């Protein structure tokens, strides 16, 4: 299971697509597979200010509860209501339809420490 090359990754298994000063954040296929069948999402509301490295949501599956971390400071400007309504989307399409939140970044340089595709694949042993 290879991670897409156009994204950056956290060691907590979130992916980030950076466009201007907005980051789209989701969980990786590896994380979705580890969680199992995802049945519930709790995401921050639009307008929420978030801090890098903090828990900003929960992802519940039939096996466990996982936490969603954010890799950078900013304001939530959009959440994926379709994924909230159909959380199993994270299992079937975590990199496209299964994105979770969009964040207007306070300091885009915070993303400089994220992993590229090769580093993330090494991190998960792929």
Give the distance between the most distant pair of CA atoms in the chain: 37
Tell me what pLDDT residue 3 has. Answer: 79
Question: In order of start, what are the domains of the chain with their CATH numbers?
Answer: 8-107 (2.40.50.100)
pLDDT in tens, 99-124: 999 999 999 999 999 999 999 999 99
What is the Cα–Cα distance from 69 to 67, expressed in whole angstroms?
6
pTM of the model: 0.94
Identify the residue with better confidence: 34 or 2: 34
Pick the closest to residue 91 from 4, 27, 16, 14 (CA basis): 27
């Amino acid at each position: 299971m290879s991670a897409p090359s156009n994204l950056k990754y956290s060691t907590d298994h979130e992916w980030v697509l950076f466009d201007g000063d907005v980051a789209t954040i989701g969980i990786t296929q590896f994380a979705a597979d580890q969680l199992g069948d995802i049945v519930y999402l709790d995401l921050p509301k639009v307008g929420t200010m978030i801090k890098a490295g903090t828990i900003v949501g929960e992802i519940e599956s039939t096996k466990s509860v996982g936490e969603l971390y954010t890799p950078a400071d900013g304001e939530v400007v959009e959440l994926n209501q379709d994924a909230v309504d159909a959380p199993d989307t994270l299992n079937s399409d975590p990199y496209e339809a299964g994105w979770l939140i969009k964040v207007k970044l306070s300091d885009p340089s915070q993303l400089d420490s994220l992993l590229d595709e090769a580093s993330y694949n090494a991190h998960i042993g792929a």
